[in-house]
Structure 1
Amino acid sequence: MSETHHRAALIDGKSIAADMRAEIAKEAGELTEQGWPPLLVSVSVGDQAASDLYVRNQKKHAESAGVAFEARDYPENTSLEQLIGILQGLNHDPRVNGIIIQRPLPEHIPVKALQKAVHPLKDVEGMHPASIGNIVYNDLALGPCTAVAAVEILKTLPMEMEGLNVTVIGHSEIVGKPIAFLMMGLGATVTVCHHMTRSVAMHSRAADAVFVAVGKAGLVTGDMIKPGAAVIDIGINRVEGKTVGDVDFDSVAEVAGWLTPVPGGVGPVTVATLMKNAVLATRMQMEHYRESYTKTDF
């Protein structure tokens, strides 16, 4: 390797998120002046220890972006019927603009059933089947936060999205597949790899940008990356008490042009995207209400 290659530039997710939050706070302020202060309600069921840190983090970020945040906890033995009733109540409450369902949920509660029960206009996580489906039409009202955040990060780099060769490693419904559709919508040529792909390295080495979302520490190594490529690491893994991504950081940093650290990369931008969705949802609801109430002829 020649002496001229520098280590990958680290992409600072925290500063991207801070810029987004400033923008969101301005928007939230305007909505509040118009009588629509954005309010998020978080729903947790059962043991809160696992999601407690997330909830506190979301609350802190919401408040710094001018979005009110209310956490509601329900006991482990709450039935699916009761929870759907609770969500329908939140759907009908005009003060509530966004609903977040915290995971993990108790075994007897299927997450999909709850995601379907949230009204698409209040689906700030972008998890409702209608929200996921709209991505296929390049209609990005409320997209799934992690996927949108990963793509937003790539858009901050000095790269031409049209015709860009992109490899997505991992094809989950809420991250890998939506990223592929979002990138296609921007004009990129996209390859999606997963556990049945014969040679992931063959695809990733040809890519100008690689997204990794598998949940396997150290999965992507430097020899799998084209020199100068952008690598967006979405994995979150706990290894020996440390939080790491899916990328073997040291070897990839030697080859890549840009790399997101874990933590401090995609994570903060994901939370900021949730707040962006909250103000977007509030605005959409405000307009929806106005339209449905101005049609009557007195």
Structure 2
Amino acid sequence: MKIDGSQIVSGLKKELAQKVVFLRRRNITPHLAVILIDNDPSSLAYIRQKEKMASELGVKFSNYQIAGSLNSKKELINLIHKLNKDKTVHGIIIQRPVPIDISRRELNKLVIPKKDIDGFHPKSPFTPPVAKALLVILEWVFKSKRAIYKKTFLSWLKKQKILIIGRGETGGKPIAKTFKKMGIPYSVAHSQTKNLNELCLKADIIISCVGKPNIVRHNMVANKTTVIGVGLHLEKGKLQPDYNQKKIGEKAEYYTPVPKGVGPVNVACLFENLLKAV
């Protein structure tokens, strides 16, 4: 069964819109600033989604683009310092990946914690939106099975065999970190994992965060499995998940498509963090 991310977040979007109306009546306009270095196709797609939802919710959206050059790091740091001090800006996002020479540790600490709605700063009070999105999607799956599993969502999730493929900073890592914090057991596979087929076949839930084609093949998936595609790659001018959607759709019990899969849920969870930052 295809998981429709747009449908899942329709209720959440209505709640967020109501909160924005309440804030604007108090002369507070939530303001999101997004910084993009260069023009990665996946990043541009996510920024378009964010800008579209900002418009729908009545949130101010500022998009800053920095060209990849020798001065990019200095320009990025100066811009973030300025936005950190700007009281009208409530949330700041540095769109990953960042193709400049800067350490991950330095990059993660550039945005002050109270504006780091992506959850990268070690002291950020926010759960990473991608991890929140996974929980929202999995809760939808649970609710569709509740007649079978008469448990709470969290107790059900803790009993599932969860496999996270990839450990990148924008996908696998924040998801794994959030699950660990919540006491949700999981396994991680990566490029050096030799028994990926076996791990996939045993998994109840596969979360693929790589961003390359055919990481998960239909013969690696059982008919009980939920497959969630976080990683994206460009194929014939279109963004695709880590698997062939048609073949996985014929085999898996549930799967997220592209578009209208994880993306809209991720963006809605980001704006939920933004409104908490106001």
TM tier, smaller = 0.7 to 0.9
Which of the numbers 39, 45, 49 marks the counterpart of 2:31?
Answer: 39
Q: In structure 2, what residue type is equivalent to 1:116? A: K
Q: Where does 1:1-298 land on structure 2 (aligned, <5 Å)?
A: 9-45=1-37, 47=38, 54-74=46-66, 78-103=71-96, 105=98, 107-108=100-101, 113-131=106-124, 141-158=125-142, 160-282=156-278
The offset of 1:186, in angstroms, is 4.5
Q: In structure 2, what residue type is equivalent to 1:193? A: A
- Aligned partners of 1:29 and 1:161: how far apart in 2? 35
Deviates further, 99-108 or 9-18: 99-108
Confirm or deny: 8 A CA contact 1:145 1:271 kept in the other structure: yes
Structure number with larger C-alpha Rg:
1
Unpaired stretches in structure 2, ≥5 consecutive residues: 146-155
- TM-score of the superposed pair, with normalisation by structure 1: 0.79
Matched length: 264
Cα distance change on mapping 1:248 and 1:214 into 2, 3 Å: same
- Aligned partners of 1:79 and 1:173: how far apart in 2? 21
Q: In structure 1, what residue type is equivalent to 2:141? A: L
- Aligned partners of 1:121 and 1:92: how far apart in 2? 12
Deviates further, 235-244 or 106-115: 106-115
Cα distance change on mapping 1:22 and 1:123 into 2, 3 Å: same
Deviations along 1:223-265, one digit per CA (max 9) or x if unpaired, are 2122222111112112223322102223322321111012210
Residue in structure 1 matched with residue 148 of structure 2 by the alignment = none
Cα distance change on mapping 1:249 and 1:191 into 2, 3 Å: same
- Aligned partners of 1:186 and 1:229: how far apart in 2? 22
Cα distance change on mapping 1:277 and 1:76 into 2, 3 Å: same
Confirm or deny: 8 A CA contact 1:162 1:186 kept in the other structure: no
* SS in structure 2 at match of 1:168: strand
- Aligned partners of 1:54 and 1:164: how far apart in 2? 29
Q: In structure 2, what residue type is equivalent to 1:215? A: G
Confirm or deny: 8 A CA contact 1:44 1:102 kept in the other structure: yes
- Aligned partners of 1:75 and 1:254: how far apart in 2? 42
Deviates further, 89-98 or 183-192: 183-192
Q: Percent identity?
A: 34
* SS in structure 2 at match of 1:205: helix
- Aligned partners of 1:184 and 1:105: how far apart in 2? 26
Confirm or deny: 8 A CA contact 1:166 1:191 kept in the other structure: yes
Cα RMSD over matched residues? 2.4
The offset of 1:195, in angstroms, is 1.1
* SS in structure 2 at match of 1:161: helix
* SS in structure 2 at match of 1:125: coil
Confirm or deny: 8 A CA contact 2:73 2:100 kept in the other structure: no
Confirm or deny: 8 A CA contact 1:161 1:186 kept in the other structure: no
